[in-house]
Amino acid sequence: MINKVLFWNIRGLGTSRKRLRGLVREQQPIILVIAEPFRDDTHLSYWKTFLEFDECLSNASQARKIWCFWKFGLKVDVMGVSDQPLTLLINSSLLIPSVYAKCRFLDRRSLWSDLLGVNNLQFPHVIIGDFNVIHNDNERRGGNPRMLIAMEDFCSFIDDGRFVELPFSGNGFSWCNEQLGMAHSWARLDRALCNSKFKDLYLLARIQYLPRRTSDHSPMVEVNGMGLWKLVAKLKRLKLVLKSWNKDVFGWTGKHIKELEAKVEEGEFRLQECYSEDVEADILANKVELDVWLKREESRIAQQVKQKWVSHGEVSTAFFKAL
């Protein structure tokens, strides 16, 4: 069983390096998919090590837009690589096409055709990624109306494949243009679709959208949440609570960072419902303060690492992992 897949259109690894490794350590995904890394594939092996994965793959020969990483213990077969989807067969039983769709609706038609071909393989599968299109105008806030023909193409693809959208938690408007005033807009471009065989096997599968920070897209986690995995998830949540308590007791900054992230997310919810200059100003102020506290936390961690190095020297392998 595949318990957790993390997908993120990261829009450049340079600005999201620390956030990405933090997400990987917090979420513990079995499979990680990155869209738009803005890095040459010669760096792929380095990122595999940096993110503590065991295997990796990209669609470099096609577009260099999708990187995929996974842990030992998975039997992974490549079923298809093209410029928009990268399809893996996991443990000979589950298909996971990862998607980075092109911006032009005409270019996306080849993607819909490729994914319908995957559907004919008769495996349970879940398609996860940035589809660069919405169902209808209810899936956006602000900005100009989207092209009707593009939405109709997408809806026809879903109907033809009899796909089901996974339920989600978090802010479903997964993309934001980060502009100010009335030009500010949001849309649900990132999602997960599955076939009926997948839904029958993983009744509690869902998507969680994580807070957006360094990219204009939200990270997205797919979780199955069945059987013993539910217990594992609860224990992981308990671990996070205990870590949070530990930070609070010793005056660390983690709690305040989480509070500021929550304020930014709450402000965006309010702004999506009704534009307000005051709310927008609050969001910008909280983002500035969040950046200050993140730098303080990085400084604290760096000091800890230096102290461990002084105390333990070359014996401390944790020093290298913390770099």
Q: Is residue 247 part of a domain?
A: no
**Whether 94 contacts 125, CB under 8 Å:** yes
pLDDT band at residue 247 under the 50/70/90 scheme = low
Across the chain, mean pLDDT equals 85
Residues 162 and 104 in one domain: yes
Q: With cut-offs at 50, 70 and 90, classify the pLDDT of residue 227.
A: very low
Classify residue 67: in a domain, yes or no: yes
Asked if 129 and 275 sit in the same domain, the reply is no
Please check whether residue 306 lies inside any domain of the structure: yes
In a domain, 240, yes or no: no
Could you tell me if 51 and 154 lie in one domain? yes
Please indicate, yes or no, if residue 239 is contained in any of the structural domains: no
Number of domains in the chain: 2
φ, ψ of residue 208 to 5 degrees: the values are -120, 125
Average pLDDT over residues 82-110: 94
pLDDT at 321: 52
Domain assignment present for 64:
yes
Give residue 138's domain range. 4-233
**pTM exceeds 0.95:** no
**CB of 287 within 8 A of CB of 279?**
no
Which of 76-85, 107-116, 222-231, 274-283 shows the lowest mean pLDDT across its residues? 222-231
Average pLDDT over residues 273-302: 79
More confident residue, 166 or 247: 166
Contacts for 264 with CB less than 8 Å, ≥ 6 apart: 211, 283, 286, 287, 290
- Confirm whether 243 is domain-assigned: no
Does residue 301 carry a pLDDT above 80?
no
Same domain, residue pair 177 and 212: yes
Beta bridge partners of 141: 186
- Are 100 and 162 part of one and the same domain? yes
- Regarding whether 308 and 169 lie in a shared domain, the answer is no
Domain closes at, from 178, 200, 233: 233
